[in-house]
Amino acid sequence: MYKPLQIFWSLAVFEACKAELDSTQALILAEVGELASKLDGWFFHVITSPSGVLLRCDGEPETDAWRVHVRLAEYAGNYPDTIKTPANEKYAEFWELQKYVPR
């Protein structure tokens, strides 16, 4: 069953990808959307932004949508772990962040 994606960017991801916000959002929607359409439980997926920033997307199914948190990540051995900073644990939706980027 199709569920829309609710993407929540960490403030750290926003700062790291501010210059490429639209292209990074499109990449997240394409890759996570395809993956979520095949699943029905929690998942994570690692994406590299157009400029090479490593992002970890954790998806959790809600009743009527997928809630996806996007955080900066780094590899700890073979495992992509989130970077532990306060800004990487505070979130906003894409539409909220867009107003802070000069167009």
Least Cα distance to 57 among 88, 87, 28 occurs for 28
- Give me the chain's average pLDDT, please: 91
What is the token pair recorded at 42?
């929690």
At 55, is the pLDDT very low, low, confident or very high (cuts 50, 70, 90)?
very high
Is residue 50 a contact partner of residue 24, using CB atoms and an 8 Å limit? Answer: yes
Whether 100 has a pLDDT exceeding 80, the answer reads no
